[in-house]
Amino acid sequence: MGEMNHQDELPLAKVSEVDEAKRQWLQGMRHPVDTVTEPEPAEILAEFIRQHSAAGQLVARAVFLSPPYSVAEEELSVLLENIKQNGDHADIACLTGSQDDYYYSTQAMSENYAAMSLQVVE
């Protein structure tokens, strides 16, 4: 008979267990995310460039140096070098203009389009 009672209580127990599991999962998510993304700003940078390319915009190097990003110059050089070396970011290309370097993703933008955009920007 004890079995039956246990069965009846299950839905309630389940709800709090799910909440608990969800909470732990979210906390679990939060921690690995810190450790995974912290050393990977290059990933964030590449993603940022891809999003702008998808919107038809080049990203000037100066953008990263200015607020709200305010990446330090030497740090930025390292990051952009990492992106260049990393096969995952093979789509990130750079155009050198007269005033700045401009980045775009070849997944979202053709070289011709990027070159035309460069003329417009400068």
* Percent composition of the chain: helix, strand, coil (DSSP 3-state, to 5): 65, 10, 25
Domain 41-121 sits in CATH at: 1.10.10
pLDDT digit string, tens, across residues 23-57? 565 555 554 444 444 547 888 899 999 999 999 99
pLDDT digit string, tens, across residues 45-97? 999 999 999 999 999 999 999 998 899 999 999 999 999 999 999 999 999 99
Q: What confidence category does residue 19 fall into, taking pLDDT thresholds of 50, 70 and 90?
A: low
Whether this prediction's pTM lies above 0.75 is answered by no
Phi–psi pair at 72, nearest 5 degrees: -65, 145
